[in-house]
Amino acid sequence: MKRKNILITGGAGYIGSHTVIELYNSGYRPIIVDNFSNSSIKNIEGVEQIIKDKVAFYKFDCTDINQMNQLFKLENNIEAVIHFAAFKAVEESVREPKKYYDNNIGSLNIILSMMKKYELYNIVFSSSACVYGIPEILPVSELAPFKKAESPYGETKQLCEKLIDGADINSISLRYFNPVGSHETCLIGDCSADKPNNLVPIICEVASGKRDSMQIFGNDYNTIDGTCVRDYIHVVDLAKAHVAALNHILNKKEIKTAYNIGVGKGVSVQEVVASFEKINDIKISYNIGPRRDGDVEEIYSNNTKINTELNWFPVMSFESALKTAWTWERNK
């Protein structure tokens, strides 16, 4: 049976590359577009090693309308778009908000204009739990209102969801919590061009000696041990959620909805450090610093909606996420 063409923007990135594998294994033909601004050809090479096949790839910039127009002409039978391409560092977005507004919102606007021009009506959007701001009720469900975003990054995700809601297309926004880990082969992973801003990659850099130590931003929050609490979802589970969303959207005549993608359990920063030390038998040097702008105190997911409607459940363990993250760091 002929594979359906699915355009994956940012497909050479961390989550995108894992999703490409799951799409291929589910019978789709993923088409990657990525300009490597915050990713690497290494992930595409790793994907091809894992699937034992070549993938369609275009080194184009999603904010360049001419390049995107060329892509849609070359690949004129696309069934859906999964839109990952975006900058994603909360702390950097506080320092450089314009960079985030221009790229994250600009790229989506061009994708939506191409979809309209070429009569494509299905999009799965890479959103974030940041859209909830500081939630009033935990665990947070999709019924929670958008509160004031704690960072420009979070605000771009709110605005992107609103743009998609206003477009005449079918859409599913996936609100990620905190992706961690790597594919079991550890041939793909987080290839961010910049220094990592997320907790587990930073821990891995300390473990590998790339950093002498790490800083925990604040230990005076109203949480189990005073450090921020997050919901850590294995990246392979997250990738499979995209396949579930894609299957769903392609089988519906009309749909506009959003799903949380998390485990449903909060883990503090200090608990993550302690778990990494225990699982990988290595000591992590850290110090306590002041709170960081843009950080939410505590957030974790209510997954009931996606469990019920898409029959998706996380199955990968936190331990395997920390093991594969460390193996990826050593091998990359």
What DSSP character marks residue 223? S
Q: Where are the beta strands (DSSP E) in the chain?
A: 5-9, 29-33, 56-58, 78-83, 122-128, 170-176, 178-180, 214-217, 229-230, 232-234, 256-261, 267-268, 286-289
Which residue is it, tokens 């275009």?
58
- Indicate the pLDDT class of residue 204, thresholds 50, 70 and 90: very high
The tens digit of pLDDT for each residue in 232-243 reads 999 999 999 999
Which residue is it, tokens 């041990």?
225
0.95 exceeded by the pTM?
yes
pLDDT at residue number 193: 72
How far apart, in whole angstroms, are the C-alpha atoms of residue 50 and residue 218?
40
User: Would residue 204 count as lying in a domain?
Assistant: no
User: Would residue 289 count as lying in a domain?
Assistant: no
| φ, ψ of residue 226 in degrees (nearest 5) | 90, -10
Write the single-letter amino acid at 161: E
The tens digit of pLDDT for each residue in 270-296 reads 999 999 999 999 999 999 999 988 788
User: Would residue 30 count as lying in a domain?
Assistant: yes
Residue 195: pLDDT over 90:
no
Q: Indicate the average pLDDT of the chain.
A: 96
Active-site amino acid positions: 153
User: Would residue 326 count as lying in a domain?
Assistant: no
The tens digit of pLDDT for each residue in 139-155 reads 999 999 999 998 999 99
User: Would residue 258 count as lying in a domain?
Assistant: yes
42-46, long-range: CB within 8 Å, 24+ apart, which pairs? 42/188, 42/191, 42/332, 43/12, 43/13, 43/14, 43/16, 43/17, 43/188, 43/189, 43/191, 44/11, 44/12, 44/17, 46/17, 46/183, 46/185, 46/187, 46/188
The residue range of the domain holding 138 is 5-181+232-262+301-315
Residue 137: pLDDT over 80:
yes
User: Would residue 274 count as lying in a domain?
Assistant: no
β-bridge partners, 174: 126, 259
User: Would residue 287 count as lying in a domain?
Assistant: no
The tens digit of pLDDT for each residue in 298-320 reads 999 999 999 999 999 999 999 99
User: Would residue 332 count as lying in a domain?
Assistant: no
Residue 115: pLDDT over 90:
yes
Write the single-letter amino acid at 97: P
How far apart, in whole angstroms, are the C-alpha atoms of residue 149 and residue 179?
20
Number of domains present in the structure of the chain:
1
The tens digit of pLDDT for each residue in 70-94 reads 999 999 899 999 999 999 888 889 8
CATH code of the domain in which 72 resides = 3.40.50.720
pLDDT at residue number 139: 98
pLDDT at residue number 306: 98
pLDDT at residue number 1: 77
